[in-house]
Chain A
Amino acid sequence: MEQKPHEIFPKDPRKTYGLMEMVRGTTPMADTGVEDTVMSWPHLVVMEAIAILGVSLVMLVISMVANAPLREIANPDVTENPAKAPWYFLNLQELLLHMNPSLAGVIIPTIVIAALMAIPYLDRDPRDVGIWFASKKGRAICLWSALYTAIAVVALILFDEYVSMRKLISEPEVIPGWVIPLLVMGILMGVLRLGVQRWRPSKREVVLALFTGFVVAYVILTVVGTFFRGYGMHLVLPWELPPGSVPL
């Protein structure tokens, strides 16, 4: 069967073709390839080239105007105050201030990574694939979850700084280190789950709410750890930070 380059569905001479039925409706696939496709060259390749050049240009400009930090030579005898991990680990360091280090530094991140990996095995309904936030309802749920989580996380950070859980109950360590943090996180997630109930969410929408909660908490903890923690990891405003305590 000879195929001309521009022909998408060449006629096969071994088959017969005929009109079978008339159907009312539009023909969305008219004049397009299979599954509404276009040639990658040039459509995709051009966009990829633009993205690559754009990123290169932006990185070049940033690198010309801002210098990478280089402080004094490493000295184990001079402790930095505050001593901070790189910025993308400051979410964990922030958690460390509020609970037992094993819980904050290892157990929670391990559970988070495992939970992230489990997402596609929990939510398998393919109906809303390819649609941002799944639906209008999904968008409302995400917005609500984001606001709720932001307020809750900021309130908890402020509470622990100015009232301090450990001042209220310090003995035995298991209470402020494990019991209360686990209880608080459990209640927070429970309220989040109940809060979205009024939308009668599908499984996908519950996962949307929880993931949004994770993203917002993760970002807030990172930003607070990076820009709002000064001497002794106490809360300060960004312009009161001791010099060099933003670990970029």
Chain B
Amino acid sequence: MRTLNDLRRRLTENHIWTSVFRQGYPDTPIDQSLVMTNTLLLHLNPVKVKRHTLKITYTWGLGLMAFWLFAVLVGTGVLLMFFYVPSPERAYSDISSLETSVTTGMLLRNLHRWSAHAMVLMVFLHMCRVFYTGSYKPPREFNWVIGVLLFVLTLLLSFTGYLLPWDQLSFWAITVGTNIAGYAPLVGEQMRMFLLGSKEVGSEALIRFYALHIAVLPLALTILISVHFWRIRKDGGLSAPANETSRERASRADWVN
């Protein structure tokens, strides 16, 4: 025991360690506060949370799970990019050789595919949770609007990724999907043309969907997620019944007038 403590002290009580970790192990209130504000990822959370927030049956953790699935998708997606060329000549064979001749390639692709579906589901369930708990009400109106945009972006991300394996399933799904966009009154044909870069799904569509899928949409989603999280904090944390937060009591007073 003494040697263990000795080791711990030698490891943590030196210049290098304290330059990285600016507080002790968080077992006192001051360190528990500092760890939350000093750590990049943890600082998204407040130092203190309402007890009500921690009830599993209140949020089911759906928003966090959707966010984590997005993180998994970025991670697996970047790995997939090493093995994939978005051209009609290469795309399909790249995916099939990923499955057969890359170590854990099949697992990588499966993770990306199923996580994408799970993310669509989680985002939708999260939207339902926020609605049914009335969490969109003042002061959180605008964050709900951002949430709806995030749902739309999630669908678009999934849709643009769907074409990339370049098999019959993806080809005809994107044909059907972009035909739907083509039915828009007045601008339908132009919109379809804009998406596909041609009259039919072909190499132009593949490169467009790829660029949207790996750069434009993930960037847009990341920016909106940042605003979404930031607004949660600015709006006083997660929603809770009105008698629990004075800020909400104050906003109720505005509302009555």
Contacts and interface: CB of A to CB of B under 8 A. Distances in A.
B127 to A, nearest CB: 8
Contacts of A72: 167-168
Interface string B170-214: 111101110011011100100000000000111000000000000
A13 interface: no
A244 B135 CA distance: 40
B64 A120 contact: no
B49 A71 contact: no
Contacts of A51: 61, 64-65, 68
Nearest to B109: A68
Contact of A55 (B33, B68, B170, B251): B68
A43 B167 contact: no
Interface string A66-79: 11111111111011
B252 A126 contact: yes
Interface residues of B, number: 95
B24 interface: no
Contacts of B36: 40-41
B244 interface: yes
A161 interface: no
A134 B159 CA distance: 35
B242 A126 contact: yes
Interface in A45-72: 45, 47-48, 51-52, 55-56, 59-60, 62-64, 66-72
B84 interface: no
B48 A93 contact: no
B177 A131 contact: no
A116 interface: yes
B51 A36 contact: yes
A43 B95 CA distance: 43
Contact of A129 (B53, B133, B175): B133
B155 interface: yes
How would you classify the secondary structure of chain B's contact residues: helix, strand, loop or mixed?
A: helix
Contact of A247 (B133, B173, B180): B173
B102 interface: no
B252 to A, nearest CB: 5
A237 interface: no
A182 B97 CA distance: 49
B173 A35 contact: no
Which of B46, B171, B184, B239 counts the most chain A CB atoms within 10 A?
B171
A119 interface: yes
B114 interface: yes
A206 to B, nearest CB: 13
Interface in A1-60: 5-6, 32-45, 47-48, 51-52, 55-56, 59-60
A-side interface size class: 35 or more
A126 B128 contact: no
Contacts of B113: 68, 248
Contacts of B176: 83-85, 93
A62 B148 CA distance: 28
Contacts of A40: 32, 36, 42, 45-49
Interface of B: 26, 28-30, 32-33, 35-36, 42, 45-54, 56, 58, 61, 64-65, 68-69, 72, 88, 92, 95-96, 99, 106-107, 109-115, 117-118, 120, 128, 131-138, 140-141, 144-145, 148, 152, 155, 158-159, 162, 165-173, 175-177, 180-181, 183-185, 188, 200-202, 239-242, 244-246, 248, 251-252, 255
Given A62-B110, A70-B99, 18 more contacts: A37-B51, A38-B51, A38-B54, A39-B47, A51-B61, A51-B65, A56-B68, A59-B114, A62-B114, A66-B114, A76-B201, A85-B173, A85-B180, A120-B138, A126-B255, A127-B252, A130-B133, A247-B169
Interface of A: 5-6, 32-45, 47-48, 51-52, 55-56, 59-60, 62-64, 66-76, 78-80, 83-89, 92-93, 96, 101-102, 104-107, 113, 116-117, 119-121, 123-134, 142, 204, 208, 211, 215, 244, 247-248
13 contacts: A35-B245, A60-B111, A70-B169, A76-B171, A83-B173, A83-B175, A88-B158, A102-B184, A102-B185, A106-B185, A127-B242, A130-B58, A131-B133
3 closest A-B pairs (Cβ-Cβ)? A74-B171, A120-B141, A63-B110
